[in-house]
Amino acid sequence: MNATELLAAHFKANPHIITGKVVDINAITDKLYQLDFTEANAELTPGLVTNTSAFSNWVGQKLSNCNCRYGIGGYMEHRTVYTRSALFNTGNEPRRLHLGVDIWGDANVPVYAPLNGMVHSFADNDHFGDYGPTIILKHDLEGLTLYSLYGHLSRGSLSSLSKGQTIKANQQIATFGNAAENGSWPPHLHFQLMLDIGDAYGDYPGVGYYSEKDKYLQNIPDPELILHFAELIKY
């Protein structure tokens, strides 16, 4: 049983665990755009993805053209966009496998905790291509420990946090950061779930080695179990 199957079974066995929202969304009126950051997308030229302003404009135009509130995608996606930063090119194999889900939108979009929990850790991972401001929450789900990570936040999101702070489901915890503070990316949220994070503090890999995909699947559940976005993807 992989991590997604384990978490899905746990939710089914404990139906009183109600998941909340991560971003504001109206299931009746909102539409989502599925963004593709794999080599199959010929629009993602090196000149585009290395130019943060041009990259941001490209994402914004995609959403505007289809009147979509957010762009979505990325879980276990083998991406080419990480060529933009040396951060992902260390070692014998470059890191290209995206481990969470990205929600693309405007800077300052509110971010919420979908489950009751506590602040495990937070940090400003301030490097080109990195998360920028990051929050990790810890959730005790009736005997199953789950961690949720929120990356590419605004710096103000970290200002009133403390380790061990109690967080309630649907409580606003952050906002999307802009490119000047979020690791130089178009505004978006990296949302990721983990069953175990070891001794990680304020940071946990959001991009891994494609050759280790099977290993990641044992620890990193599909965020769709919480987001419930599949039916809202229109493009």
Q: What is the mean pLDDT of the chain?
A: 95
Domains and CATH numbers, the chain: 3-232 (2.70.70.10)
In angstroms, rounded to a whole number, what is the distance separating the alpha carbons of residues 37 and 170? 30
Q: What pLDDT is attached to residue 133? A: 98
Q: What are phi and psi of 106, to 5 degrees?
A: -90, 155
- Higher pLDDT: 151 or 232? It is 151
pLDDT value at position 202? 97
Residue 192: band (very low, low, confident or very high) from pLDDT cuts 50, 70, 90? very high
85 falls in which pLDDT band (50, 70, 90)?
confident
What average pLDDT does range 10-19 have in this prediction? Answer: 94
Q: What 3-state class would DSSP assign to 4?
A: helix
Residue 149's pLDDT band (cuts 50, 70, 90): very high
What per-residue confidence (pLDDT) applies to 189? Answer: 98
Residues 209/211/217/220 CA torsion (nearest 10 deg) = -10
Rounded-to-integer distance, Cα 188 and Cα 38, Å: 18
The answer on pLDDT for 105 being more than 90 is yes
Tens digit of pLDDT for each residue in 33-46?
Answer: 999 999 999 999 99
Q: What is the pLDDT of residue 92?
A: 85
CA-based nearest residue to 78, from 102, 52, 99: 99
> What's the pTM?
0.96
Tokens 């978006």 found at: 188
| pLDDT (0 to 100) of residue 99 | 98
Determine the average pLDDT of the residues in 112-116. Answer: 98
Distance from chain centroid for Cα 148: 9
Q: pLDDT at residue 187 above 80?
A: yes
